[in-house]
Structure 1
Amino acid sequence: MPFSLWLSLLGASVVISFTPGAGAINTMTNAINEGFRRSFWGILGQQVALLIHVLIVAAGVGILVANSPVLFNVVRYAGAAYLVYLGIRTILAKPVSEETALDVRKNEPALSMFRRGLWVNLLNPKAIVFFLAFTPQFIRPSEPLLPQYLIYIGTIVLVDVLVMWFFFAAAAKSFRRFTRSVRGQRIMNTTFGVLFILVAVLLVFIH
C-alpha cells in the first residue's frame, strides 16, 4: 500500500473512531464501572468484531447482506434489540452504597466484558455495509491482497484501540468521583442506558 494511500486510511480511521456510537458508549460504561485498565477487555471484543466485519466483506458475504433486505433487517433488529437490552439493564442496575463505591468496583469478568464488546459491534449490519463501501477504496486487486488487508485492518484496529482507550475510556475517568454517590450512580446509569437505547432507535429508523 502506497504511503499516501495509507495516510488517507489513517485519517479516515481516526474520524471513524471518534464518531460517537455504541462502541464508545460501551467503552465509557466499562471504564466507569470497572476502571480504565479493565475497560480494555471490552475494547478488545469490539476490535475482534471489526476484524470479523472485514473478513465478511473480504469473503464477499457483505454483498449478500447488503443486497438482501431480509437478512439485513434480521441483523439490524437483532442489534437494536441487544442495545435496548443493554440500555434497560444499565438503567435498572442497582447502585452500591457510597462507602462501598469508594473501594469496590463491580468486578465483571473479563470474558463478559469481551463478549459484550464483541456483540455491540458485531450486531451492526451498517458496519458491514460501511466496510463494503470503505474497503475497496484502499485495496488494489492487482497487488497481493494479504499484505494489503493486514495493513488495512491493522491500521483500523490500532487507531480504534487508541481512541477508545485513551480518549473515551480516559474521559470516563473524570466521572468516577461523581459515581461514588448513589444519586450519581443512578444519574450515570440512566444517562448511559438512554444513550444505548437511542443508538438502537437510530439503528432501526435511520437507513
Structure 2
Amino acid sequence: MALSTWLAFFAASWAISFAPGPGAICSMASGLKYGYRQGLWTIFGLQLGIQCQLFIVAVGVGALLAASDTAFNVVKWIGALYLVYLGVKQFRTDAMPVTVEAGQPLDRHPVRTQILHAFLVNMTNPKGTMFLLAVVPQFLDVSRPLALQYVLIGATLSFTDLIAMSCYTSLASRMLLLLRKPGRIRWMNRGFGSLFILAGTALAAFSKS
C-alpha cells in the first residue's frame, strides 16, 4: 500500500470512527456506568469486534453477506434484536445513587461480560461488515501482499477507533459527578436505553440496496 493511499484511508478512518453509531452509544453507556478506566474494557471489546469483521471481509465471508439475502437478514436481525435487548435492559436499570468519584467503577461488573457485550455490538452489525466490504478493497494494492495490507488497515482502524471511543467514554464518565439523585440516573438510563433501541430499529430497517 502506497503512503498516499494509506494517508487517504487514515483520513477516512477518523470519519468512520467518530460517526455516531452503536459503538459510540455502547462506549458512552459504559463510561457513564463504570467510569473511564473500567470503560476501557468496553472499548477493547469493540476493537475485537472490528478486527473480527475485518477478518470476515478478508477471508471473503463478507461477500456471502453481500450475495445472500438470507445470510444478511439473519445477521441483521440478530444484531437489531441484541441492540434492542441492551436498550430495554439499560432502560430498566435501577436508579442507584452515584456515590463514587468520577473515573472509578460503579460496581464489580465482570470484565469478560463487559467485553463480550461490546464485541457483540460490533460483530452483530452487518452494516459494519458491508461498509468494510465496500470501502476496504478501494485501498488495497493487489500487486502487493494482501495480508500485510489488511494488518495495516486493521491497525489503522483500531487506532482511530480507540481514540474516538475513548473520547465518547471520557465524555460520559465526566457526567458521573452530576449524578447524585436517583431521578437523574433514571432519566439517563432511559436516554441511553432509548438510543440502543433506536439503533436496533435503524439496523432492522437497513437494506443492502
Q: Deviations over 1:119-171 (max 9, x none)?
A: 00000111111111111011111101122111111000111001101x10111
In structure 1, give the amino acid aligned to 2:53: H
Q: Deviations over 1:79-130 (max 9, x none)?
A: 000000000000100111x3xx213712211111100000000001111111
What is residue 59 of structure 2 aligned with on the other side? 59
What is residue 129 of structure 2 aligned with on the other side? 128
What is residue 150 of structure 1 aligned with on the other side? 151
What is residue 18 of structure 1 aligned with on the other side? 18
Q: Secondary structure of the equivalent of 2:56?
A: helix
In structure 2, give the amino acid aligned to 1:148: Q
Structure 2 segments unaligned to the other structure (5+ residues): none
CA RMSD of aligned residues (A): 1.1
Shift of 1:37: 0.8
What is residue 68 of structure 1 aligned with on the other side? 68
Q: What TM-score comes out, normalization by structure 2 length?
A: 0.94
User: What are the within-5 Å matches in structure 2 for residues 158-173 of structure 1?
Assistant: 158-165=159-166, 167-173=167-173
What is residue 99 of structure 2 aligned with on the other side? 102
Cα pair 2:28 2:168 within 8 Å, conserved: yes
What is residue 33 of structure 1 aligned with on the other side? 33
In structure 1, give the amino acid aligned to 2:206: I
Q: Secondary structure of the equivalent of 1:102?
A: coil
Cα pair 2:51 2:154 within 8 Å, conserved: yes
Shift of 1:206: 3.2
Cα pair 1:95 1:186 within 8 Å, conserved: yes
Structure 1 segments unaligned to the other structure (5+ residues): none
In structure 1, give the amino acid aligned to 2:25: I
Q: What TM-score comes out, normalization by structure 1 length?
A: 0.95
Q: Deviations over 1:3-38 (max 9, x none)?
A: 111111111100011110111011011111111011
Q: Distance in 1 between matches of 2:68 and 2:145?
A: 30
Q: Distance in 2 between matches of 1:146 and 1:71?
A: 26
Cα pair 1:34 1:107 within 8 Å, conserved: no
Consecutive aligned runs of 4 or more in structure 1 exceeding 4 Å deviation? none
Shift of 1:77: 0.5
Cα pair 2:34 2:173 within 8 Å, conserved: no
Q: Secondary structure of the equivalent of 1:39?
A: helix
Q: Distance in 1 between matches of 2:21 and 2:169?
A: 14
